[in-house]
Structure 1
Amino acid sequence: MAKKQEAEKELKAKEAELDAVTPIAEKETIESEADSISIEEIKSQLATPSEDFDWDADDKKFGNYTDSDREKLEKLYDGTFSSITKGEIITGTVVNVNSKDVVLNVGFKSDGLVSVSEFRDTPDLKVGDTVEVFVESQEDANGQLVLSRKRAKTQQSWERINSALDNDEIITGFVKSRTKGGLIVDIMGVEAFLPGSQIDIKPIRDYDIYVGKTMEFKVVKINHEFKNVVVSHKVLIEDDLENQKTEIVARLEKGQVLEGTVKNITDFGV
């Protein structure tokens, strides 16, 4: 009933305002094609609530949801966002960059955070750029996604390395340093071992001459348990020599005269 009394009070206040301006309004006429509207007509058009209006109806139903209703609403709300699973790689759009984090919109109910230190190789990163990231956690203590660009790159590198081994593909790597028995090669962020015996078809005495070079390799072994990768440059040289040999033999004909260089003389021939 309190709401009804407030409404009647407000209505009376409006009528009082109109009555106060009646002496002035009645002296003035509005010159137009239509007849002027009197103050009494305006009053008659004011909405008047019916006597049987239930003023407490709003309070009876507002926020009165059952657990089932609330669960349905939450499912509808969650359904408007992308489904994201911990451990997958997703693409996000940069919406903010600060001194600590890069904020990404990935279509989830909360934005994701990536440490700005993971973007040292992209100093020109800006709002609107797209980035592939690894989902580390769906929610941290602040309810935000925890993402990692470094882990996304590492996982993609391993997928590429495994594919190279399975399909006998050539990959490119950077020789980082010398180690006992060979060299350490960086392949898309993953360290691989290049044995000294797999550098060339001829023995190599000085490994240091290869440090700092970018070379092509084939993956010859992967230990998934210890995340070890062994590569070879020698097999590429052997494959190339074998291809050259096949081409030369294919061009040889009986009776053909060719020039050659003596490489060695032995008891059984030249």
Structure 2
Amino acid sequence: MRVILAKSAGFCYGVERAVELAKKTAAECGGCVMLGDLIHNTHVIAELEDLGVRKAAVPQDVREGETVVLRSHGERREVVAALEARNIHCVSAACPNVQRIQSLVAQAEAEGRQSIIIGEPHHPEILGVASYCSHPLIFSGPEDVWAWLAEDSGRREVPVTVVAQTTCIRELFETSAKILKKECTNSKIFDTICNATHKRQSEAAFIAGQVDAMVVVGDRKSANTKHLTEICIERCPRVLQIEKADELSPDFFNGCSVAGLTAGASTPAGIIKEVYATMSEEIKTAENGEESFEELLNQSFKTLNTGEKVTGIVTAIGPTEVQVDVGAKQAAYIKSSELSDDPNVKPEEILKVGDEIEAYIVRVNDVEGFAELSKKRLDAVKVWENIEQAVEDKTVMEGIVTEVNKGGIVVSVKGVRVFVPASQSGMPRGADLETMVKSKVQLRVTEVNRARRRVVGSIRSVADEARKAAQEEVWNSIEVGKHYTGTVKSMTAYGVFVDIGGVDGMVHISELSWSRIKTPAEVCKVGDTLEVYVISFDPEKHKISLGVKDRSVNPWDMFMSKYHVGDVATVRIVKLMTFGAFAEVVPGVDGLIHISQIADRRIEKPGDVLSEGQEVDAEIIAVDEEKKKISLSIRALLAPAAEENAPVDAE
């Protein structure tokens, strides 16, 4: 077994410069003060304190006349100003790369540009950089960028200057910068990630992909060490982050043929050398240690370690768990809740005794002799792999909308949370996204950051693609008279627009009903389903005229078959004119009640007696079949009553 040591492991130029500057200042001044941790490494801090570098937790702890060394991450501008105002000499140990970022945001401020910083919001470096402009925006990654853009479309017109934390994961910055460059009309992008950081991360990723176990050395507060660990976990099944050599154990290297070692930018060479030597000794112990009969017997069983993948055989299926033989001394089982991301699925529906199953080891209890497994989590890892591949292949995936959050919605795709910005949800601007919760949607994954467990997707792109295909299908097959089942999309005073499968057609108000109507709302509303047919279409102008009226039914023929002159009909007043009133006899056929035929007395206007929408009885007194006109009379029905009440002439 061998150990591969990363060539880039350990102090970067900025950290080494800060440590040497602190030592030199302490020697020249007979001691000095460091404000906070000069670098993120407790062992180096302790060494500096032994050399006379006193640590002050807050600026108020620095005494007037003292010399203070400002940390490598940089310090807030207002803190420096306050110290200097108290006659305190400040020596800046800020990394030159950090100083460059501070200058960039200060320049952006002077130019009236919005500064955007990609990094960890509460990291000292970010807090220091942010102090060089009035209203900085700090984004952890692309999800925050999308949320900010979705809140206000006007933000795309704002001139922005984009920088990154020196230790930012490159994929995180590049994805965020790509969005801002595409969406914002005036953007300046500065790649301020330290070259040493990028080199260290790339080398760690490469080594982690070649080894069975990976050790990352660095302070647990160190951002770049944490990022190294995240990168290694993606590529190596067994990763251990430590601060010093005594945290190593031979058990960690059991079964390994090759191990890797890297370290964060704040880790001194002495600690790395000690860890490297200890790893070599631990490996020898793991390989060559004398073993008792009991140990040899135990080794005949498979060793189970939390976080590893294991393959076993289903031996029993119960209502709450599935028992699995994984060839180990521990009894292994999978809870029903850890079988699938579908909470309604039953174990017996997806497994049977004798099936081979792969799962992750969630917990090992050697005292009680059991191991808890999870198939769901292993499936989730495979889903991540599928999602990463889906980005390259532009594959359409399916999921369930689980919640609405700031700037968009969250879709569960086989257990993985996919953030969909509001602008990519397929819903109109300002629409209530809560209506999408629990609905099944199709989406295309646009960005993946597995280290941050962040995925961004677009429902709109899939919907637009489907709509485009549907539109092509409609235009390729459309013809006059063809019938469609459509959905009312919008309404105007003169008609409605109906979606007939990706293409909107117009139904004029006159084509909505045989009856005379004032507004489309009298017969339909948005969302209604309508049976329509094509009256005409223009492919070049992309216009379609639709109708709803059943042309097989002729309202005039219906009237002629039902009524004759002298018949009495119950009619509905549809329009009042100065000379009379039009009344609907049957849907699509109106008759005129002349003002002289409305009452048995003289009236000034029809509205004195009648109102629109009123139903009255009227006699059909004339029919012009050629001109399809009907004359009606209410007075004709009132005349007999008037005659009965007339006085009798005396003889």
Determine whether 1:114 maps to 2:393. Answer: no
Structure with the larger RCO, 1 or 2 (CA within 8 Å, 6+ apart): 1
- 1:39 — aligned with what? none
Deviation at 1:193, TM superposition (A): 1.2
Distance 1:122 1:129 in 2: 19
Does structure 2 conserve the Cα–Cα contact (< 8 Å) formed by 1:139 and 1:145?
Answer: yes
Note the C-alpha offset of 1:197: 0.5
User: Does the 8 Å CA contact 1:201/1:237 hold for their aligned counterparts?
Assistant: no
Say if 1:82 and 1:140 are closer, same or farther in 2 by CA, change over 3 A: closer
TM-score (norm 2): 0.25
Post-superposition Cα deviations, 1:193-226, rounded to whole Å, max 9, x if no partner, equal 1111002285462323322211111111123332
Match of 1:123 among 340, 346, 368: 346
Would you say the 8 A contact 2:448–2:454 is kept in 1? Answer: yes
**2:74 matches 1:74:** no
Hey, what's the Cα distance between the residues in 2 that align with 1:149 and 1:238? 36
> Partner of 1:152 in structure 2?
378
**Distance (Å, rounded) in 1 between the aligned partners of 2:297 and 2:425:** 59
1:259 equivalent to 2:538? Answer yes
1:103 corresponds in structure 2 to 323
Secondary structure at the counterpart of residue 104 of structure 1: strand
What residue in structure 2 maps to residue 3 of structure 1?
none
**Superposition pairs of residues 113-192 of structure 1, within 5 angstroms:** 113-119=333-339, 121-125=344-348, 128=353, 130=355, 131-136=357-362, 140-192=366-418
Aligned-partner Cα distance in 2 for 1:248–1:97: 52
Unaligned runs of 5+ in 2: 1-288, 477-536, 545-651
RMSD in angstroms over aligned alpha carbons? 4.1
Which stretches in structure 1 are left out of the alignment for 5+ residues? Answer: 1-66, 251-257, 264-270
In the alignment, which residue of structure 2 is the partner of 1:232?
A: 458
Indicate if the aligned counterparts of 2:317 and 2:347 stay in contact, CA closer than 8 A. no
Deviates more, 1:159-168 or 1:141-150: 141-150
Cα–Cα, structure 1 residues 75 and 237, in superposed 2: closer, same or farther, change >3 Å?
same
The SS at the match of 2:394 is coil
CA distance in 2, matches of 1:101, 1:95: 11
TM superposition shift of 1:86: 5.0
How far is the alpha carbon of 1:189 from its aligned partner?
1.1
Q: SS of 2:538's equivalent?
A: coil
One-letter amino acid matched to 2:372: V
Deviation at 1:88? 3.8
| 8 Å contact kept, 2:319–2:347 | no
8 Å CA contact retained: 1:140, 1:146: no
Query: For the Cα contact (< 8 Å) 1:185–1:192, is it kept in 2?
Result: yes
SS of the residue 2:447 aligns to: strand
SS at match of 1:212: coil
TM-score scaled by length of structure 1: 0.54
Q: What is the aligned-residue identity percentage?
A: 23
For 2:312 and 2:433, locate their aligned partners in 1 and report how far apart those are by CA, in whole Å. 42
SS in 2 for 1:222: strand
